[in-house]
Structure 1
């Protein structure tokens, strides 16, 4: 990169200014000239200077943040799961996760989504960059608002409500001086700020087009978000991972096992079934009259207030279902959501052919993803739901550091599984 020497010089000059602030205790006697009013990458032709929003952010941050801080603080793990589950950003981000991941991996970056207070809810991207980001807790659960981690792209976007970038020693915390981050706020249809999308990488990979990419991704997320907010909310929720339950408007209702099986199949295949295909999925090779299926569908239609179409069996209204949420998370590579949603096998007591096929599909997908992942939390969570899975417990032990107290839990689970 022919501009790298110039970038290195700019970074060195920024480090000098940072030292006067962070080590010297505040603003220098003569403030540095302000040449930029917007959060844009530092041009090659200009000297390294502090932008006005960086100066103001440093002044605010120094009241609560030690520039020598090594990592961002973490939120409670259980609280993180509920935050992501309840976030309006979860569905649009999950739907676009494949595109976001491809962009981040191709560019050698990490993509991060936070909530409205700067807590990281989702991350993906280049594996080596993600590992480095995890050393400063730029990972799910990390708290990146200004009072916690000082000046960063996330903090500036949360504070100003505008796209921002922070490069090298513009970060107040010295541990972030090797990074550049490009961020933009994500807004609800009514203008409320719901969080921030951040693309981060090493300082020498900075490029002005990255902020344009962030803006485009935010536009795509907001488009899906606003469309989803205008859709009718599902009145019915089916839980079929572990103990099956059906809720209508928050109240549990009794359903026959066969009806739950049919409803689960319809939820997982929104394009629906022909009568012949659904008959095969439900009854297999058993000699069951087509009228039996029609009777089951008729009873199910009454129980769901007519939410099933006549000729091609399919749902006509939104149905919330934990199995479809698991499938969507797996397809998007959102393993944190997948292991949180998974409460057990899909309708575990059913031997219906279509259910058995989906059960094996979901279990193999989730288990394979966890065994390929480097986050011990995912292995521990799945191990809780799969006490007999020796390989999952062994994987958790391999990933946990020697001093991690959770090793005792993984070891105990492995011991129990081996004795079973």
Structure 2
């Protein structure tokens, strides 16, 4: 079965579970047993939501004070979001999503998207001023992310409200420097456009917003800033004001490509320039560019900056430091934590029946996590291994060879159906 067939089957199964469970949840008593396709988190949210939300309600209620312009202008999220606005619009337009940012109460403060998706969103008041907390709008990705403090995906009839059964939403909370949840960032689209990389994109964008909250939006260098000198023949180097910058070969390659192309690169052209005909997964490319461009390890090139997969005007700059990753800790802590999480994903895939559509979702999640993990090792760990460990070059080269083999396997995995026994 094709991926679109997997999604249609999953949607039909969820619709059946929704029709079976919702009448029982409205009655007093213990929660009925849900089918395997539904998580306890979703059914528990349904039960809580039914006390205040009619599943037939078409649109989200408006916040009590109406216009939210004043709340957005005073929000700590506005500066970092404005700095990323072009990238957020590009993601929404190119992939057919609508992007939303809320405050800590679940009220939408800002949205962007193409004309068609914004019209659809406005019909359900997925727009500034709309309330998307659980008490007002029932089970959705925004309300779950706010309640749990973790990223959340809600697909089709996992939503309590029937008007949202044609949607899929990917959402992650935005934490302030003090750890408080300040709101969420959400990408939503129609159910048939569900994509395994959407959540990775949301997490990358949220990381950029959180970095902006910690350090302020990245500013362009002053006009009299010393230029960056690239040496590309022989031993590649990057030097500014006499100080050498610690860049990996791939980073030097990207900077050189941008320096030689004043008009900049689209993500598609950059991928072609870097890899040519090599079979590189979309997951690998996007994670590599996103990690290179993260605000805590940011490369900007003459006239253009790599930023979460897009290129925008900027000056050359490079900021070193021990970056934060998806778990909010430093690189070594995250790499250590990744290992048992990846093993757990393998175990989940192996325990699912061959025909279970969740195998495809788990495989996509595994691909994203493995690529993110390997890219982080290549950028942050292996250069130190080469420099400080005995026989460090041999160790790092062996690991890079292993990564290349894994990438080939992931390319095969990305093209398999859920029913494939491999």
**TM-score (norm. length: structure 2):** 0.49
